[in-house]
DNA sequence: CAAATATAGTTAGCCGCCTTATTATCTCAA
DNA sequence: TTGAGATAATAAGGCGGCTAACTATATTTG
């Protein structure tokens, strides 16, 4: 499973070499960024591995959940792209595979010839209905070692981080 | 940029639907997992966008840094794969592209006919030498809104999370 | 020494992300 | 009313992950 940050020993000598080259080398920030990247990758992997149990990925799961739980929304590729924050082209790919696997169906939209109406198939509904209890049980279990106060502590830290890097993130995207 | 977690409004109705279906629905854990995934994605995107400035990615950057800063290591694809925690095949792909772009060179290893010795080319060295100051300046700047106490707070939260999910992560992989 | 096994690297092919066209349809305004 | 521009979906092609299978070389062992 990917990670890309070298472990302690290599990272340590790497940082010491770098600190010789870079004036004002900011150890704290670099360590923090490494921790964040490692922790991020770990979280993503945890969920991807979990979903793999049902042959799903984060993206496939997100689409199935939206179709299953909010069927009144008359989902189209564009709506899914907006809801899941990926591009239309990515949705096309996910929808291709999900429909190839028989979980969803495309049909012409009655009102607008450009649109495609997406629905869960019978087997798609079955899949979701079957996985939901285990899925949410598992999420609860993953974090079961944390008490309410600790969860709050983590959420606070994430919010703090969010606020601190938000302007930076916005500037990045423009670049 | 990907994210996959729907925003507040959709997420809210989604969760309320789910809580009707799932007995003992653990709001706190689900919210935490959503926050973690969003925050993870944001962190990864921040760095990927930052690297894109030089036509790099996390993986390409990791390899260049190791070749540049620890040249005495006599790097081979396998060593890089171990150091960066990706598969050999992934390293082959990254090395293909980096060498196509003229940043690194492959040569036969003198001692062992199976091995390939990887080195930075002149232009690879130039690239790294040129980007290092800006890169680390940028990292420092990204987190410049945080004081030492806040950085510690975030690191503590990450460590807490790490300890809490570690056994879960290990079990997952086996699955 | 020869055969079995281990190791290094690549290839092939899948997935999900992206950007940049392209095509089809719809809407609006001259 | 028709022609320009907006919008919906897909296609094509790149990237970086992965697994599984393959080749070539070393090593170990009977």
Cross-strand bridge partners of residue A107: A117
**Nearest-neighbour CA in chain B from A36: distance (Å):** 7
Residue B123: CATH number of its domain: 1.10.10.10
What are A63's two structure tokens? 């689409």
Tell whether A72 is covered by a domain. Answer: yes
pLDDT by residue for chain B (175 residues), tens only, comes to 688 999 889 999 999 999 999 999 999 999 999 999 999 999 999 999 999 999 999 999 999 999 999 999 999 999 999 999 999 999 999 999 999 999 999 999 999 999 999 999 999 999 999 999 999 999 999 999 999 999 999 999 999 999 998 754 443 332 2
Q: Could you tell me which residues come within 8 angstroms of residue B40 by beta carbon, excluding any fewer than 6 positions away?
A: A39, A40, A41, A43, A44
Contact list in A for residue B66 (CB cut-off 8 A) is 6, 10, 14
| Positions of chain C reached by protein Cβ under 7 A | 7-13, 15-21, 24-27
Tell whether B39 is covered by a domain. Answer: no
Give the nucleotide with minimal C1' distance to the Cα of A76: D8
Q: At what angle do helices A77-84 and A58-69 cross, to 10 degrees?
A: 120
pLDDT by residue for chain A (175 residues), tens only, comes to 678 999 889 999 999 999 999 999 999 999 999 999 999 999 999 999 999 999 999 999 999 999 999 999 999 999 999 999 999 999 999 999 999 999 999 999 999 999 999 999 999 999 999 999 999 999 999 999 999 999 999 999 999 999 998 754 443 332 2
Q: Could you tell me the residue range of the domain that residue B114 belongs to? A: 58-130
Contact list in B for residue A91 (CB cut-off 8 A) is none
- For chain B, what is the domain count? 1
Q: What is the CA B78 to C1' C2 distance in angstroms?
A: 29
Cα A128 versus chain centre, distance:
18
The half-sphere exposure of B172 on its side-chain side, counting CA atoms within 13 A, is 21
Quote the pLDDT of residue B175: 22
Quote the pLDDT of residue B1: 64
Residue A87 to residue B60: CA distance in whole angstroms: 24
Quote the pLDDT of residue A90: 98
Tell whether B171 is covered by a domain. Answer: no
Quote the pLDDT of residue A58: 96
What are B110's two structure tokens? 């003198």
Tell whether B116 is covered by a domain. Answer: yes
Tell whether A8 is covered by a domain. Answer: no
Of A32, A50, A172, the CB nearest to B143: A32
Answer yes or no: are the C-beta atoms of B132 and A118 closer than 8 Å: no
Q: Which residue is nearest to nucleotide D27 (CA to C1')?
A: B112
Tell whether A85 is covered by a domain. Answer: yes
Closest CA to A74 of A108, A125, A123, A124: A108
Tell whether A119 is covered by a domain. Answer: yes
Quote the pLDDT of residue B7: 86
Tell whether A92 is covered by a domain. Answer: yes
Write out pLDDT tens, residues B51-81.
999 999 999 999 999 999 999 999 999 999 9
Closest CA to B162 of A71, A82, A35: A35
* B78 CB less than 7 Å from any atom of strand C: yes
Write out pLDDT tens, residues A79-100.
999 999 999 999 999 999 999 9
Residue B128 to residue A112: CA distance in whole angstroms: 52
């Amino acid at each position: 499973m990917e990670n890309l940050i070298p472990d302690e020993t290599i990272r340590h000598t790497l940082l010491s070499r770098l600190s010789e080259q870079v004036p004002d080398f900011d150890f704290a920030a670099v360590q923090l960024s490494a921790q964040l990247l490692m922790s991020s990758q770990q979280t993503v992997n945890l969920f991807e591995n979990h979903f793999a149990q049902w042959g799903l990925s984060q993206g496939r799961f997100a689409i199935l959940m939206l179709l299953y739980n909010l069927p009144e929304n008359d989902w189209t590729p564009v709506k899914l792209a907006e809801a899941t924050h990926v591009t239309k082209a990515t949705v096309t790919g996910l929808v291709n595979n999900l429909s190839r696997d028989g979980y969803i169906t495309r049909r012409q939209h009655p009102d607008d010839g450009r649109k495609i109406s997406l629905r869960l198939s019978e087997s798609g509904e079955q899949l979701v209905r079957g996985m939901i209890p285990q899925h949410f049980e598992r999420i609860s279990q993953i974090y079961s070692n944390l008490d309410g106060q600790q969860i709050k502590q983590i959420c606070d830290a994430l919010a703090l981080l969010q606020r601190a890097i938000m302007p930076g993130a916005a500037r990045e995207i423009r670049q």
